[in-house]
Amino acid sequence: MHVFKKIFMLLLFIVIISYTIDKIVYFAISKMEEKVFTGQNVGKFNHFLEVKDSIDLVFIGSSRANHHFNPKMFSKHSFNMGLDGRNIAYFWTVIKMLPIDKKQDVVINIDPNNIFDSEYTGEDITALGYKYHKSEKIKEELERRNKINPLIKYYWCIGYNSKILGVIINYLRPKYNYKKYNGFDPIIVSETQKAIRDELFTKNTALDCEKEKQIKPNEIAISYLKLIAEYSKLNNKNLFVITTPIRNDKCKSDNKKLKEIMNSLSLNYYDFTDFFNQNRDPNLWKDNTHLSNLGADEFSEFLSGEVGE
């Protein structure tokens, strides 16, 4: 066989076989994934998609939202969509998935570091890569800032990168009964965590507040905030932006600046950073930025009254 014919055959075979294998595996995983409603990586978002049309209140944010808002104290038809490591690009995409014609309350936990992190580029959205070929809305967001591996157009399995084990495990053995789960994961502080926390609290953690004065809002974060504000106004969403409690936060200029930004966008913003300033009980905390189950319940109880009003 002529040498160039051989090269052509080899490359053609690679293209065809790799494409075929990719699709077979993709559809197999995809079938399983659609039935996965447990686990933080994939299941929780699927669960949210299942309940999004029936809920009247949703909490959105990172792990701080996940551990701080107890939906049970607000409404029977509410869901906590807080997830560890997520940021404002992800928050926006979650809001975008809500039904446009249903009146719903949306509470987002936004901290100053969500807005003033100069290095933030919207990479948290890649966590939804596995929905690239399933949802046009998500595809649009993944492509908004070129946050998706371009090869995903040909090799669909890239969307399930690093998720496949979680999908298989949760498919074969769901971790909990998702019908009884409202997305809230209270932190019950273990003895080991208590020891680490107490040592942390005894340390004098001096913050560099001088640096903070030069903070600049991240343009990408601001653009997402604008999208959230505009979309909520146009689609029957009653939006509340909240900074949940942080322990011993000495630097205030970022909070002040965040409030100015929220006001300029006409958003309902509530800063509860110092909510527990008067109460020094360490049992309310897991660490400086995460409340324990006790702290979360106390905060949620207070907030349910506020939101109710």
Partner 1 sequence: MLFNSFDYLLFLPIVFITYWLLHKKHAWQNILLLVASYVFYAWWDWRFLSLIIYSSLVDYLIGKKIHKENLPQSKKRLLLLSLFSNLGLLAVFKYYNFFASSFSQLMLSVGWEVDSLTLNIILPVGISFYTFQTLSYTIDIYSGNIKPTNNLVSFFTYVSFFPQLVAGPIERAKNLIPQIESKRTFSIDYFKEGLLQIFIGLFRKIVIADNLGIYVDSIYSDVTIHNSTSLLLATIFYAFQIYFDFAGYSDIAIGSAKLFGFQFGKNFNAPYFSRSLTEFWRKWHISLSSWLRDYLYISLGGNRNGKIKMYRNLMITMLLGGLWHGSSWNFVIWGGIHGVFLAMEKFVFSKLNMKNFNFLGILYTFVVVLISWVFFRALSFSDSIFIMKKFVKFDFMAPFIGNINILAITFLMLLLGIGFDLLIKYFNVSLEKLGSKVSILTLSIFISVLILLTSLFYSTSENFIYFQF
Whichever of 201 and 231 has its CB closer to partner 1, that residue is 201
Place of tokens 């011993």: 248
Q: Is 266 in the site for partner 1 (CB under 8 A)?
A: no
Whichever of 162 and 204 has its CB closer to partner 1, that residue is 162
- The residue within the footprint of partner 1, chosen from 162, 214, 266, 278 (CB under 8 A), is 162
Q: Is 146 in the site for partner 1 (CB under 8 A)?
A: no
243 Ramachandran zone, left/alpha/beta (phi>0; psi -120 to 50)? beta
Strand partners, 240: 107, 268
Output the smallest distance, CB 196 to partner 1, in A: 9
Please give the DSSP secondary-structure letter assigned to residue 39. Answer: I
Which alpha helices (H) appear in 39-87, and where do they start and end? 44-51, 63-68
Please give the DSSP secondary-structure letter assigned to residue 42. Answer: I
- Residue 278: phi and psi, rounded to 5, are -80, -20
Whichever of 164 and 251 has its CB closer to partner 1, that residue is 164
Strand partners, 82: 61
Using the contact rule CB under 8 A, the part of the chain among 150-158, 212-220, 278-286, 296-304 near partner 1 is 150-158
Q: Is 151 in the site for partner 1 (CB under 8 A)?
A: yes
Q: Is 188 in the site for partner 1 (CB under 8 A)?
A: no
Is the CB of residue 243 less than 8 Å from the CB of residue 255? Answer: yes
- The residue within the footprint of partner 1, chosen from 60, 157, 215, 225 (CB under 8 A), is 157
Q: Is 161 in the site for partner 1 (CB under 8 A)?
A: yes
Whichever of 2 and 216 has its CB closer to partner 1, that residue is 2
Cα 258 from Cα 270, distance rounded (Å): 10
Judged by DSSP in three states, 60 sits in strand
Judged by DSSP in three states, 265 sits in coil
Stretch 28-47: interaction string toward partner 1, x if CB under 8 A:
-------------x------
Q: Is 25 in the site for partner 1 (CB under 8 A)?
A: yes
Cα 187 from Cα 253, distance rounded (Å): 30
Whichever of 150 and 308 has its CB closer to partner 1, that residue is 150
Please give the DSSP secondary-structure letter assigned to residue 283. Answer: G
Output the smallest distance, CB 179 to partner 1, in A: 24
Q: Is 137 in the site for partner 1 (CB under 8 A)?
A: no
Whichever of 25 and 32 has its CB closer to partner 1, that residue is 25
Cα 120 from Cα 178, distance rounded (Å): 32
Q: Is 165 in the site for partner 1 (CB under 8 A)?
A: yes
Q: Is 175 in the site for partner 1 (CB under 8 A)?
A: no
- The residue within the footprint of partner 1, chosen from 32, 75, 96, 164 (CB under 8 A), is 164
- Strands of the sheet with 104-109, listed across from one edge: 78-82, 57-61, 104-109, 237-243, 268-271
Is the CB of residue 173 less than 8 Å from the CB of residue 32? Answer: no
Total residues at the site for partner 1 (CB under 8 A)?
Answer: 25
Residues in contact with partner 1 by CB under 8 A are 3, 6-7, 9-10, 13-14, 17-18, 21-22, 25, 41, 150-151, 155, 157-158, 160-166
